[in-house]
């Protein structure tokens, strides 16, 4: 895609006047250059594969590499991985925040999702859990990322706020966690507000930056999908934020095999360079993207993918559905349990990929589980029905 040249927006992408925070050997915010991140796509417990993946990403230019940890076995693996790399490591904590104390000695940043700290079944409040995480981070010289994701918002937030405002629950969650960390006198944190829709990413981050101009922001379009579409979605969001000083570290999340994860770094560097040089999408290109059309969202391959065939399936779905390209239908192809339920619930058609079967949903309603060989014909049948019904309607 050719980009329109304009007057350069910035000499180099720089942050707004946030505070600076240190993540291992780098700083983000406070006028430091924008840092590029990625995430390992190999099973964390596979030490050899994950250490090789971290090295691949670091050599490609990733300044922070995120690794998921869900089990004690992952913790032990991370300890060994740390010995094999000098990369700045971030650990991704979802359901099991307690593992923070075990992994903190081996990483430079803890990433937690507020959506997983508010379980009504827990004996501890989310405030107590944040206090624990802040204490662990402080003791072990770690930064924190408060990672808010549209696919795993605290359910109570959706009920408390205005119906139809999909951005408000993310924003409210981020702001209350910032306030709690501030109350604990822990200020070495950044925030991310991610959605699969670039427009919502832009709105959420603009609103957050206006409310908390002091807090560094990690930017990304989650579940952006496969290249080149996933790169385009991310570029659209970054172009509307970075030239305005919103964004201090970035990730381009792509659905690609583990061996190709360095493409995330290459894409991010290219977007940053284009923005710095004023090579931006023009109004016609943006309008073409925003017109009603088929939208395939797919999560980036990561260590929580339960079957590597998920990536190949996403590619097959894209090819098989090109016939419906002009129809405003969203298909979600999700490979893990973390954001899979949320994203497939809000999509017109959702494929939540498990270890041996793919769960098919239509408008959030389960239609059954199908093998990886059976799912594509079944999806196309539902897609044809949906297209026909909308044509009649």
pLDDT digits (tens, 9 = 90+) for 288-301: 676 668 999 998 87
Structure confidence at residue 15 (pLDDT): 54
Determine what percent of the chain is predicted with pLDDT higher than 70.
Answer: 90
Confidence class for position 61, pLDDT limits 50, 70, 90: very high
First to last CA, the chain: 35
Nearest to 41, CA basis, from 337, 261, 320, 265: 261
Residue ranges of the domains in the chain?
A: 4-287, 292-392
Q: In angstroms, rounded to a whole number, what is the distance separating the alpha carbons of residues 12 and 29?
A: 14
Structure confidence at residue 94 (pLDDT): 79
Q: In angstroms, rounded to a whole number, what is the distance separating the alpha carbons of residues 168 and 316?
A: 35
Confidence class for position 342, pLDDT limits 50, 70, 90: low
pLDDT digits (tens, 9 = 90+) for 115-128: 889 877 788 999 99
Averaged pLDDT, 240-259: 96
pLDDT digits (tens, 9 = 90+) for 128-165: 999 999 999 999 999 999 999 887 777 677 666 666 67
Structure confidence at residue 99 (pLDDT): 96
Determine what percent of the chain is predicted with pLDDT higher than 90.
Answer: 74
- The reply to whether the predicted model has a pTM over 0.85 is yes
- For residue 263, give both structure tokens: 């493409």
Please determine, for residue 12, whether its predicted confidence score (pLDDT) is greater than 60.
Answer: no
Structure confidence at residue 162 (pLDDT): 64
Query: φ and ψ at 143, to 5 degrees?
Result: -85, 170
Q: In angstroms, rounded to a whole number, what is the distance separating the alpha carbons of residues 41 and 345?
A: 24
Please determine, for residue 246, whether its predicted confidence score (pLDDT) is greater than 50.
Answer: yes
Structure confidence at residue 159 (pLDDT): 64
Confidence class for position 83, pLDDT limits 50, 70, 90: very high
Which of the pair, 377 or 164, is modelled with greater confidence?
Answer: 377
Q: In angstroms, rounded to a whole number, what is the distance separating the alpha carbons of residues 224 and 357?
A: 23
What CATH class is the domain 4-287?
alpha beta
Q: Does domain 292-392 have CATH number 3.30.413.10?
A: yes
Structure confidence at residue 335 (pLDDT): 85
């Amino acid at each position: 895609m050719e980009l329109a040249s304009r007057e350069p927006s910035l000499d180099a992408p720089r942050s707004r006047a946030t505070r600076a925070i240190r993540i291992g050997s780098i700083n983000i915010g406070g006028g430091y250059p924008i840092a590029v991140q990625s995430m390992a796509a190999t099973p964390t417990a596979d030490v050899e594969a994950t250490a090789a993946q971290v090295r691949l990403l670091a050599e490609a230019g990733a300044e922070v590499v995120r690794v998921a940890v869900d089990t004690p076995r992952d913790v032990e693996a991370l300890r060994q991985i740390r010995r094999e790399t000098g990369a700045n490591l971030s650990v991704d904590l979802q359901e099991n925040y307690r593992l923070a104390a075990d992994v903190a000695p081996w990483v430079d940043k803890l990433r937690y999702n507020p959506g997983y700290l508010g379980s009504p079944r827990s004996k501890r409040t989310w405030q107590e859990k944040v206090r624990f995480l802040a204490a662990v981070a402080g003791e072990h010289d770690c930064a924190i990322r408060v990672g808010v994701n549209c696919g795993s918002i605290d359910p109570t937030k959706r009920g408390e706020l205005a119906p139809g405002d999909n951005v408000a629950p993310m924003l409210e969650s981020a702001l209350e966690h910032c306030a709690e960390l501030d109350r604990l006198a822990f200020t070495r944190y950044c925030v991310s507000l991610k959605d699969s829709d670039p427009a919502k990413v832009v709105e959420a981050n603009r609103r957050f930056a206006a409310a908390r101009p002091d807090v560094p922001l990690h930017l990304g379009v989650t579940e952006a999908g496969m290249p080149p579409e996933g790169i385009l979605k991310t570029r659209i969001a970054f172009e509307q934020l970075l030239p305005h000083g919103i964004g201090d570290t970035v990730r381009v999340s792509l659905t690609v095999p583990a061996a190709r994860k360095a493409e995330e770094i290459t894409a991010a560097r290219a977007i940053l360079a284009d923005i710095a040089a004023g090579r931006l999408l023009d109004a016609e290109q943006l309008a073409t993207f925003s017109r009603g059309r088929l939208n395939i969202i797919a999560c980036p391959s990561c260590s929580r993918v339960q079957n590597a065939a998920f990536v190949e399936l996403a590619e097959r779905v894209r090819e098989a559905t090109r016939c419906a390209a002009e129809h405003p239908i969203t298909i979600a192809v999700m490979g893990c349990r973390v954001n899979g339920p949320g994203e497939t619930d809000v999509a017109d058609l959702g494929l939540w990929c498990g270890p041996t079967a793919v769960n098919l949903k239509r408008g959030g309603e389960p239609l059954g589980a199908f093998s990886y060989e059976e799912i594509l014909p079944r999806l196309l049948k539902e897609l044809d029905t949906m297209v026909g019904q909308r044509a009649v309607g």
